[in-house]
Amino acid sequence: MNQWKNLNELTSYQKLGQNGRVDLTCAMAGEEGTVRVKKYNAPMAAGMTYYYAAKQVDDAILKDLCALAEEAQLASKFEELYNGAVINTGEKRLVLHHLTRGQLGGAVNADGTDKRAFYTEQQRKIAAFAKKVHDGEIVNEKGEAFTTVVQIGIGGSDLGPRAMYLALENWAKKNGCFKMEAKFISNVDPDDAAGVLGTIDPSRTIFILVSKSGTTLETLTNESFVKEALKNAGLDASKHMIAVTSETSPLAGNSDYLAAFFMDDFIGGRFSSTSSVGGAVLSLAFGPEVFDRFLRGAAEEDKLAAGKDPMTNAAMLDALIGVYERNVLGYPATAVLPYSQALSRFPAHLQQMDMESNGKSVNRRGEAVDYPTGPIIFGEPGTNGQHSFYQLLHQGTDIIPLQFIGFNENQAGMDVTIQGSTSQQKLSANVAAQIMAFACGKQDENRNKHFAGNRPSSIIIGKQLTPEALGALLSHFENKVMFQGFLWNLNSFDQEGVQLGKILAKRVLAHETDGALNTFSELLGI
Amino acid sequence: MNQWKNLNELTSYQKLGQNGRVDLTCAMAGEEGTVRVKKYNAPMAAGMTYYYAAKQVDDAILKDLCALAEEAQLASKFEELYNGAVINTGEKRLVLHHLTRGQLGGAVNADGTDKRAFYTEQQRKIAAFAKKVHDGEIVNEKGEAFTTVVQIGIGGSDLGPRAMYLALENWAKKNGCFKMEAKFISNVDPDDAAGVLGTIDPSRTIFILVSKSGTTLETLTNESFVKEALKNAGLDASKHMIAVTSETSPLAGNSDYLAAFFMDDFIGGRFSSTSSVGGAVLSLAFGPEVFDRFLRGAAEEDKLAAGKDPMTNAAMLDALIGVYERNVLGYPATAVLPYSQALSRFPAHLQQMDMESNGKSVNRRGEAVDYPTGPIIFGEPGTNGQHSFYQLLHQGTDIIPLQFIGFNENQAGMDVTIQGSTSQQKLSANVAAQIMAFACGKQDENRNKHFAGNRPSSIIIGKQLTPEALGALLSHFENKVMFQGFLWNLNSFDQEGVQLGKILAKRVLAHETDGALNTFSELLGI
């Protein structure tokens, strides 16, 4: 039976803080640095590796982190989760996103069905639908093929699927599996929908309406916006729209939609990229085989995350080091820096996944905790970030731990050699150089050119950003966030912090406000 | 004569910290909240207003902030800057981006020319060139009109112009001044250029190469990538490329380019949106008249920023409150949250502008400072962010000050009414509701649904995001960052922190490394 204790109730956490601090300017210099890189790494799926040599850890600290993992029962809590316990204590729900891509434990039954069977059935139905669209069996009113797919959704129905689509778009074009262009409408700002509609041919477009409850106001509003545009173009909306929703929602079994695919309450929006929420758009865009490869990568990585030893469990180790940085070293944020343009929106997805899961001040029992929890997450792809906010990362007054991601090969297979190196070599040289610049710094008598160093980073290195590698990356971060939630004793799977704004916005729209809220509303012209 | 002192040497700063703290849960509730909103605001250009009622300030604190502005000589330091002093002490350069849009002081002569005349001459030349492209006087080899413009640049040559383009794209379409679609290539990752080239017709495209020195490795590499693609398509690159560079660069007066427009060393990349760097792409995309309106908005806002009284100088006041939050209240970050999809990349631009300018640990004389300087800047448009990281903003363990932006009207003029309100009303209702939810919170016995409140925010409200409003917004933040640099006694106009990574990357490419750098390079396949 797992014990759910606060972080600062754990003996191993108290001990952890008593270790001496690691100074990376020494530890990463010369031969010792080489030894660390060769020693401090953990395998990941799809041939990737997690390197943490440039983190402020050593053998003693790692030993204490392993003891912390043991005392916090990270492995057996994950086991409890994937075997179908009610881990989402606030909403009293199971947490089943891992089941969309594999089965780590026993059968999980809920709502009177085997949930693994339910998720794979949805995938099968999506695959069959996508095939029919690609093969010209499902066409528009004029018998023309669909060329574009537009996802209408917000939050987890937008960020994850959008980041995954962008991550594989060029790979799919290169590898002959690019079937349809995808676009996304999310914001209730009418300029978002208007902007997207201005760049597509609606007569050749399938729209995917994604809302678990079928009641998300932004999404229903954008649906109406799109339906109005289809009507104005003389098109029958019901021949252009499909739904991804729960079986009990008003969108299910509704003749307004060509088809409906299902999700359920056991998968939170920010963990839904491997469910129908990501499945419909990615299968339509790249074909179901590519989506299946993406799931396989995630499933492989999940298996590694189920391991008990943190030293061979990259997600668990990453989580432990992150808690050491946040709670012992006191760093406020983590920057996510993929050296891959295809991952341009991956940091925005992680920002939701992490900050919405662990940006909380009460534990699973609803008691206030007295230690910092989830950090700020932000990031942009390198090398772009180097020409932007890296100045502060190198020489600012706060230390911000960094999470790099890099690949040996690009996706498009096009490259040029300038000044003796290819673009890919320049890209990779930059990420290697940054890790060392942050760790070791550089002494300079001119203090303006002085780099203090000792700024920690890790890097995940893979061969190429394939569907499998993307699935593994996604799983890594999902499981990292889950393990950190366990360590902080949070419920990482609800989001009560977004409710108050919704309630007040409804009051504004109903003109039920007074005081400053009323004044602001008037200023904003409502 | 201005005195350049560290923040903690100022008497008024010491006094500032002795004020009682403002509790927004009380101050923003009921009638007092209304009074604060009506009282605590400052005018901006283009009909916009900066509201800071939901900041943790009161009359006493504001009085001390005014005293701090006086003692730190903010107004006269700005005066010194716009009259051509060497404010960039590290690189011994003038700081002249304000001159690209107006003249606040006397004539500034440098390089043997009147700099205001120089910048307006470049604008005139760009306008004439753009007119010829739009009128079909400059065409491709087949005599066809150009339909697309691609900017090749990184950092300030990318983020600002890209954010400004996206901000006005739908406005221009709606108002009949959309001339050419613009795209951007920045990352040295070859997949960036390959991705953009895969979505355009190169035969109908003008490429703008933007590099002040003419030696930025990423940009020259991407130029070669594009030239190779043009050659493979049987096109003459010199008929498709223009340059924005300094007069002394190898790109100037070079027959490889259709035309060259100039910038100089007195405008840093992150402040170059109103120079030729933004001017060429925006004038080609929307016409020179729109670019001129954008400049006029910035110039109007600059005039307000030159005012001596912080209470009517929104940029100065915003800067002062930000320093109070960072140095007295100890907050680590600021989130930028525009409720406008058109401003989707505006936070990324501000992230560079702010973090690269003030992410520093030494003062203008190169002496270490012993107080926090530039915060982390991040953000995404609302309402999207509400469904992402707002959970942490509302209920996380750290307090993060917020900068909202909202407008009365959308840009595209398309909207739908659902459940009794338009999308625009829903958008505006949400931002009003968020301000109050963050400020006042909500007591709940269920601690999981409890909101502590007292989380500060400001909002800039405008009628519509027009070119003038965009220029004013840009100027506001540029001047805010400048004033904060004055307060922290930093040189906000160099970026020595990006040099070490560049040097190490060159060593990697020359295979001159050893130790861990060599090992990482091998792992990354260089």
Residue A253 is predicted with a pLDDT of: 87
* Residue B185: strand pairing partners: B152
B435-445 confidence digits (pLDDT tens): 999 999 999 99
Place of tokens 């230690």: A371
The CATH code that applies to domain B99-293 is: 3.40.50.10490
A114 backbone dihedrals φ, ψ, rounded to 5°: -75, 120
Searching chain B, which residue's CA lies closest to the CA of residue A338? Answer: B189
A356 belongs to the catalytic site: yes
A297-328 confidence digits (pLDDT tens): 999 999 999 999 999 999 999 999 999 999 99
The one-letter code for the residue type at B198 is: G
Which ipTM did the prediction report?
Answer: 0.98
A445: left (phi over 0), alpha (psi -120 to 50) or beta: alpha
- Contact list in A for residue B397 (CB cut-off 8 A) is 360-361, 369, 371-374
A128 has a pLDDT exceeding 90: yes
* Residue A196: strand pairing partners: none
- Long-range contacts of range A304-307, CB-CB < 8 Å, 24 or more positions apart? A304/A43, A304/A44, A304/A45, A305/A78, A305/A475, A305/A476, A305/A479, A305/A483, A306/A75, A306/A78, A306/A79, A306/A82, A306/A104, A307/A75
Q: Count of A–B CB contacts within 8 Å?
A: 523
Give percent of chain A above pLDDT 70.
100
B525 at interface of A, judged by CB pairs closer than 8 A: yes
Q: Which pTM was predicted?
A: 0.98
A502 belongs to the catalytic site: yes
Q: For chain B, positions 96-135, list CB contacts with chain A under 8 A.
A: none
Q: For chain B, positions 273-302, list CB contacts with chain A under 8 A.
A: none
How far apart CA A326 and CA A334 sit, in angstroms, is 9
Within B306-422, where are the H helices?
314-323, 346-358, 390-395
Closest CA of chain B from A113, distance in Å: 30
Residue A245 is predicted with a pLDDT of: 96
Residue A241 is predicted with a pLDDT of: 98
- Contact list in B for residue A192 (CB cut-off 8 A) is 341
Strands A205-210 and A148-152: parallel
Report the candidate in A468, A442, A409, A434 with the shortest Cα–Cα distance to residue A337: A434
CB B161 within 8 A of CB B151: yes
Work out the number of other CB atoms within 10 angstroms of the CB of residue B16.
22
Q: For chain A, positions 52-71, list CB contacts with chain B under 8 A.
A: 53-54
Residue B111 is predicted with a pLDDT of: 87
A77-110 core/surface letters (b: 16 or more CB in 10 A; e: else): bbbbbbebeebbbbbebbbbbbbbbbbbeeebeb
Q: Which fold has domain A7-96+294-496?
A: Rossmann fold (3.40.50)
CATH of A117-293, one of 2.70.70.10, 3.40.50.10490, 3.40.50.2300, 1.10.10.350: 3.40.50.10490
List Cβ neighbours of B176 (8 Å cut-off, separation of 6 or more). Answer: none
B7-96+295-490 against B99-293: fold identical: yes
How far apart CA B377 and CA B480 sit, in angstroms, is 13
Closest CA of chain B from A459, distance in Å: 10
Closest CA of chain B from A243, distance in Å: 19
Q: For chain A, positions 147-186, list CB contacts with chain B under 8 A.
A: 154-156, 158-159, 169-170, 173, 186
Copy the structure tokens of residue B184.
Answer: 């951007």
Interface test with B, best of A187, A213, A323, A326 (most B CBs within 10 A): A187
Domain chopping of chain A, boundaries: 7-96+294-496, 117-293, 497-526
B1 has a pLDDT exceeding 90: no
A387 belongs to the catalytic site: yes
Residue B253 is predicted with a pLDDT of: 87
CATH class of B7-96+295-490: alpha beta
Contact assignment for B396 to A155 by CB distance below 8 Å:
no
How far apart CA B362 and CA B364 sit, in angstroms, is 7
Mean pLDDT calculated for residue range B211-220: 90
Closest CA of chain A from B247, distance in Å: 22
B129 has a pLDDT exceeding 90: yes
The verdict on whether omega for the bond into residue B383 sits within 30 degrees of 0, i.e. cis, is yes
Give percent of chain A above pLDDT 90.
98
- Contact list in B for residue A221 (CB cut-off 8 A) is 416, 418, 423, 426
Contact assignment for A189 to B410 by CB distance below 8 Å:
yes
Could you list the active site residues of B?
356, 387, 502
Closest CA of chain B from A104, distance in Å: 28
How far apart CA B69 and CA B314 sit, in angstroms, is 13
Dihedral sign for Cα B83, B85, B88, B93, please: positive
Mean pLDDT calculated for residue range B401-421: 95
- Contact list in B for residue A361 (CB cut-off 8 A) is 395-397, 452
Contact assignment for A505 to B433 by CB distance below 8 Å:
yes
Report the candidate in A186, A465, A188 with the shortest Cα–Cα distance to residue A341: A465
The one-letter code for the residue type at A409 is: E
Report in angstroms the alpha-carbon separations of B28 from A498, B56, B58, B314.
Answer: 20, 10, 11, 21
How far apart CA B526 and CA B524 sit, in angstroms, is 6
B23-82 confidence digits (pLDDT tens): 999 999 999 999 999 999 999 999 999 999 999 999 999 999 999 999 999 999 999 999
Contact assignment for A501 to B398 by CB distance below 8 Å:
no
Give percent of chain B above pLDDT 90.
98
B500 at interface of A, judged by CB pairs closer than 8 A: yes
A246-300 confidence digits (pLDDT tens): 999 999 989 999 999 999 999 999 999 999 999 999 999 999 999 999 999 999 9
pLDDT-derived band at A1 (thresholds 50, 70, 90) equals confident
The catalytically annotated residue of A356, A380, A468, A478 is: A356
Q: What share of chain B is helix, strand, coil (3-state, %, to 5)?
A: 50, 15, 40
Closest CA of chain A from B225, distance in Å: 6
Residue A111 is predicted with a pLDDT of: 87
Searching chain B, which residue's CA lies closest to the CA of residue A215? Answer: B419
A162-214 confidence digits (pLDDT tens): 999 999 999 999 999 999 999 999 999 999 999 999 999 999 999 999 999 89
Interface test with B, best of A188, A398, A499, A502 (most B CBs within 10 A): A188
B372-397 confidence digits (pLDDT tens): 999 999 999 999 999 999 999 999 99
B431 at interface of A, judged by CB pairs closer than 8 A: yes
